[in-house]
Amino acid sequence: MSQEERQRDSAQAVRLLASMEWIKKAGRVLLYHSIGTELNVLPLADFLWERGKEVYLPKVVGKHLLCLHYTADTRLATGAYGILEPDHRDALISEDIDAVLVPGLAFTRRGLRLGRGAGFFDRFLASTEAKRIGVCFSCQIAPWLPIDEWDMRMDAVVCPDEIIYTDRQERSFNDDPHMV
């Protein structure tokens, strides 16, 4: 996928995210600063700020993610794993976040996610009732993923072509009807 295609698809996914009622109703949204070839959701911050919403970015501290307030004036610094994050420590308690945008290497249509293996987002999501919205390119939707008991299911997965709503309480784990 070329840089131009990534930019185009990222912009389309941000438009879909902005159309979601969960995003429109959320007072506090945790975005992420993309790394590598991840879908870029940071332009959604402008949409949220225009509507008086609070925007947060994650900061890795030890084995945990903190939610740090993010504004257009926030200074970013390179943190753990080379990810840009706010250069301050004013964290919000995870229970106060209304929606979390979650990157991943792959997702299923049932909301399962393959992350990078460190478990930061899974541990964070286990501590909040926020809406979990996976974000990826269409080519990252897989019929099956290897999962573990601690992997957290998304409430929705957004890619440039569609919003896939899921039931995170569903017991079936993958899209293959023969797998349970």
Multiple choice CATH, 3-158, 3.30.160.270, 3.40.50.10420, 3.40.50.300, 3.10.20.90: 3.40.50.10420
63 alpha-carbon distance from chain centroid: 18
Higher pLDDT, 172 or 56: 56
Q: What are phi and psi of 46, to 5 degrees?
A: -60, -45
* Long-range Cβ pairs for the range 50-54 (8 Å, 24+): 51/24, 53/26, 53/27, 53/28, 53/29, 54/27, 54/28, 54/29
- Written as six digits, the tokens of 131 are 């809406």
151 C-beta neighbours (distance < 10 Å), count: 17
Q: What is the pLDDT of residue 178?
A: 40
Task: Give residue 90's pLDDT.
Answer: 72
pLDDT, one tens digit per residue, over 77-126 is 999 888 999 987 776 777 799 999 999 999 999 999 998 878 899 999 99
pLDDT (mean) for 131-140: 98
- Interval 136-162: pLDDT, tens: 999 999 999 988 888 899 999 999 999
CB atoms within 10 A of CB 148: 7
* Whole-number percent of the chain with pLDDT over 90: 71
**pLDDT category of residue 6 using cuts at 50, 70 and 90:** very high
What's the rounded Cα separation, in Å, for the pair 142 and 108?
Answer: 5
Q: What is the mean pLDDT of the chain?
A: 90
Structure tokens at 122: 């899974």
Of residues 46 and 146, more confidence is placed in 46
